[in-house]
Chain A
Amino acid sequence: MPAADHVIAPGTGLALPVRRGQVLRIEQIRGGQGVDVNVFAMADHRERFGASRTRAMHGLSIGAGDALWSASPRDRPLMTIVADSAGLRHDVTHPACSAFEYEFASGVAHHTSCAEIQAEAIRAWRLTPDDVHDPLNLWLESGAEGGELWWRAARTRPGDHVELLAHTGVLVSLNPCGDDLFGSSCFEVAPVRASLRPAGEDERSRWLLPERPALVSQQTTRQLRGRPIPVERKLRRDPAYRPRFATAPLRSRPFQIELPPPARARIDGLRAWGTFGSSDGEIVRAALWRWWQERHARADPSGYPWK
């Protein structure tokens, strides 16, 4: 039995707390309905879903097994997609639809939009319209071609669902996308169902990650304390500010590198591309770091937390 079951009506949204180890199921009722998702850490709402970090880890869209990462400097998985009945990829490139874009396109203001619905849903938790962030767009397929983003509505049937496991306590705000003009949801907004259940033992052992970050650079709220969050909306420079950049100055030193033949021909060959640098040293350094990226840099997020 689900711990909670909600039907989210067209034009409305719901901000739902999800505890660590719980699974949020979002389900199609009619089929073909896109859903916008925002995620906030319950312990610190300033930690929230970071679409750009998620794109960097998994690609322009995400699917089963991929995580919803928070933005820097936290950079940790908040939730993971542990099931997707339709086996689709879901967009993390497009912003929430907003009243602006409908008015821009149609000339008619006050159109139902994900941004405004999200803002109203999170108001229940004292969050503001400024807290609405770039969403996970469930059941919206997307990609890029020729430098342009594209999207298309996913084909789903009644009962199709996505399940998200929470790695830490989160507030998940979701709404049926308010688009009835552009075709992301069959030109008619339909309700969707949301329910919560505890993760099973097999799900916990397979998917649940430690709350504690794996890497030193994944900062926690505790590390950010002592930096007051401004309440005033207008920006004013702090007259007491003195820069203390942690890694500056960035010092370099020269190294003499002995290269075996045919190094001269190889350097000249690389120079001809125009993208490796001008001097011999710049070209060797560019080849060095490209070699490192290809052979040694970690790029695959699977298996996080890494040892």
Chain B
Amino acid sequence: MKVTVSLTHQQQQVLAGLAERYDPPLSLEQLVSLAFTEYCDDHPEACGEEPGAGR
């Protein structure tokens, strides 16, 4: 699914610096998608899942 996320200029700067540290570098959109996935992997209960589900 596609979601529209609004980010300030300074938020973009923080994410741009982080995205460059990946090999290969990620686009900002890829980084946000990765962050969401990893956040829910880290906190399955917060994301309405049992631990281990949805992977």
> Restricting to A110-140, which residues have a CB under 8 Å from any CB of B?
none
In the bound complex, CA of A289 to CA of B8 (Å)? 12
A residues less than 8 Å from B38 (CB atoms):
291, 295
In the bound complex, CA of A260 to CA of B4 (Å)? 14
> Restricting to B8-55, which residues have a CB under 8 Å from any CB of A?
8-12, 14, 18, 28-29, 32-33, 35-40, 42, 46-49, 54
* A42 interface residue per 8 A CB criterion: no
Known pairs A281-B6, A285-B6, A292-B18; A260 contacts B33 (CB<8 A): yes
**When the two chains form their complex, are residues B48 and A255 in contact, meaning their CB atoms are under 8 A apart?**
no
**When the two chains form their complex, are residues B49 and A259 in contact, meaning their CB atoms are under 8 A apart?**
no
Known pairs A253-B6, A280-B3; A266 contacts B32 (CB<8 A): no
**When the two chains form their complex, are residues A288 and B6 in contact, meaning their CB atoms are under 8 A apart?**
no
* A251 interface residue per 8 A CB criterion: yes
In the bound complex, CA of A280 to CA of B49 (Å)? 18
Task: Count chain A CB atoms within 10 A of each CB in B5, B10, B33, B54 and give the residue with the most.
Answer: B5
* A214 interface residue per 8 A CB criterion: no
**When the two chains form their complex, are residues A258 and B36 in contact, meaning their CB atoms are under 8 A apart?**
no
In the bound complex, CA of A232 to CA of B26 (Å)? 55
Known pairs A266-B48, A291-B38; A254 contacts B5 (CB<8 A): yes
- Which residue of B7, B36, B49, B54 contacts A291 across the interface (Cβ within 8 Å)? B36
What's the least CB distance linking A105 to chain B, in Å? 45
In the bound complex, CA of A273 to CA of B18 (Å)? 28
* A290 interface residue per 8 A CB criterion: yes
What's the least CB distance linking A279 to chain B, in Å? 9
**When the two chains form their complex, are residues A257 and B3 in contact, meaning their CB atoms are under 8 A apart?**
yes
The contact size tier of chain A is 35 or more
**When the two chains form their complex, are residues A265 and B54 in contact, meaning their CB atoms are under 8 A apart?**
yes
> Restricting to A248-293, which residues have a CB under 8 Å from any CB of B?
250-270, 272-273, 280-281, 284-285, 287-292
Task: Count chain A CB atoms within 10 A of each CB in B10, B28, B32 and give the residue with the most.
Answer: B32
What's the least CB distance linking B21 to chain A, in Å? 9
**When the two chains form their complex, are residues B4 and A259 in contact, meaning their CB atoms are under 8 A apart?**
no
In the bound complex, CA of A66 to CA of B12 (Å)? 33
* A244 interface residue per 8 A CB criterion: no
* A201 interface residue per 8 A CB criterion: no
Q: Can you name the residue of chain B whose Cβ is closest to the Cβ of A260?
A: B37
What's the least CB distance linking B27 to chain A, in Å? 9
B residues less than 8 Å from A265 (CB atoms):
47-49, 54
**When the two chains form their complex, are residues A290 and B36 in contact, meaning their CB atoms are under 8 A apart?**
no
In the bound complex, CA of A257 to CA of B9 (Å)? 17
Q: Can you name the residue of chain A whose Cβ is closest to the Cβ of B32?
A: A257
In the bound complex, CA of A252 to CA of B49 (Å)? 32
B residues less than 8 Å from A288 (CB atoms):
5, 32, 35-36, 39
What's the least CB distance linking B8 to chain A, in Å? 5
What's the least CB distance linking A305 to chain B, in Å? 19
What are 6 A-B contacts defined by CB distance under 8 Å? A255-B5, A257-B29, A257-B36, A258-B2, A263-B3, A266-B47
4 tightest A-B contacts by CB?
Answer: A269-B48, A291-B39, A266-B47, A291-B35
B residues near A (Cβ < 8 Å) are: 1-12, 14, 18, 28-29, 32-33, 35-40, 42, 46-49, 54
A residues near B (Cβ < 8 Å) are: 247, 250-270, 272-273, 280-281, 284-285, 287-292, 294-296
